[in-house]
């Protein structure tokens, strides 16, 4: 049986982290204004899949393995930092564009696989996610049966999907895009700068 107090504690902490501004939210927002909603959703699914994999790693004790070996943890930090800077740089280079042409171009040059991979890699290369999930499943969940932990993981992934899909839906609506067409490239560049900022912050924190 699910321990209601335990679940509510886990749920509150997870929701607070998910809705807080971070690399995942920024990536989804960037893709939502430059792609069709369908492709943005694949990015969301990539993030949710990564989140569930994090839970599985925590259950298996592999998160502890990552945190035990400083060089492996440092590699993940640096990889995540470089990846965020790479994605952010691409966004910063966004040019002023005609809405229909650019969305069509994004659809042609981006695939479901690319969008999914962006979300998945962004989630899996974030060392802070390892720390958060590991802490959550050792300090809050503890000795709960594995089956219940997996249900928690599925619930967390579902929350990720609902939240990020809602963001994608709002930002990808034609009415929103048409209203801000002349400024969309500035918005994309802004998201890119934020992603670069997260990457630099992760890089600097890796050597503190």
Is residue 103 scored above 60 in pLDDT?
no
Both structure tokens of 59: 């259950």
Summarize the confidence of residues 178-199 as an average pLDDT. Answer: 75
Check residue 20 and report its DSSP letter: S
Mean pLDDT, all residues of the chain: 81
Kindly give, in sequence order, each residue whose CB lies less than 8 Å from that of residue 137, ignoring residues fewer than 6 positions away: 55, 58, 59, 63, 149, 152
Is residue 191 scored above 80 in pLDDT?
no
Q: Provide the pLDDT for residue 206.
A: 73
Q: 111: pLDDT confidence band, cut at 50, 70 and 90?
A: confident
Summarize the confidence of residues 11-15 as an average pLDDT. Answer: 87
Task: Check residues 142 and 82 and name the one with the higher pLDDT.
Answer: 82
Q: Provide the pLDDT for residue 31.
A: 85
- Angle at CA 91, nearest 5°, toward 123 and 24? 20
Kindly give, in sequence order, each residue whose CB lies less than 8 Å from that of residue 92, ignoring residues fewer than 6 positions away: 189, 192, 193, 196
Q: Which of 164, 149, 142, 191 is nearest to 34 (CA)?
A: 191
Q: Provide the pLDDT for residue 62.
A: 67
pLDDT digits (tens, 9 = 90+) for 160-171: 999 999 999 988
- For the chain, the distance separating the N- and C-terminal CA atoms, rounded to the nearest angstrom, is 42
Summarize the confidence of residues 180-200 as an average pLDDT. Answer: 76
Task: Check residues 119 and 177 and name the one with the higher pLDDT.
Answer: 119
Q: Provide the pLDDT for residue 195.
A: 78
Neighbours of 5 (CB within 10 A): 8
% pLDDT > 70, the chain = 85
- The answer to whether 109 touches 34, Cβ cutoff 8 Å, is no
pLDDT digits (tens, 9 = 90+) for 35-88: 788 889 999 999 999 999 999 988 887 666 766 777 877 787 788 788 778 878
Mean pLDDT highest for which of 26-30, 122-126, 129-133, 152-156?
152-156
């Amino acid at each position: 049986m699910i321990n209601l107090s335990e679940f509510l504690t886990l749920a509150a902490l997870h929701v607070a982290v998910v809705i807080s501004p971070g690399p995942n939210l920024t990536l989804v927002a960037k893709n939502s204004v430059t792609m069709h909603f369908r492709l943005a959703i694949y990015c969301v699914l990539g993030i949710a899949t990564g989140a569930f994999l994090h839970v599985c790693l925590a259950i298996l004790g592999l998160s502890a393995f990552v945190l035990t070996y400083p060089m492996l943890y440092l590699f993940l930090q640096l990889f995540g930092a470089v990846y965020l800077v790479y994605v952010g740089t691409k966004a910063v280079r966004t040019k002023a564009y005609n809405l229909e042409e650019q969305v069509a171009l994004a659809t042609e040059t981006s695939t479901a696989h690319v969008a999914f991979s962006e979300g998945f890699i962004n989630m899996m290369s974030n060392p802070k996610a390892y720390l958060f999930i590991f802490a959550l499943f050792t300090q809050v969940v503890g000795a709960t049966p594995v089956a219940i932990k997996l249900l928690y993981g599925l619930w967390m992934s579902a929350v990720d999907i609902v939240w990020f899909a809602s963001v994608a839906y709002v930002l990808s609506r034609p009415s929103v895009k048409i209203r801000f067409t002349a400024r969309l490239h500035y918005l994309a560049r802004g998201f890119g700068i934020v992603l670069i900022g997260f990457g630099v912050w992760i890089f600097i924190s890796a050597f503190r």
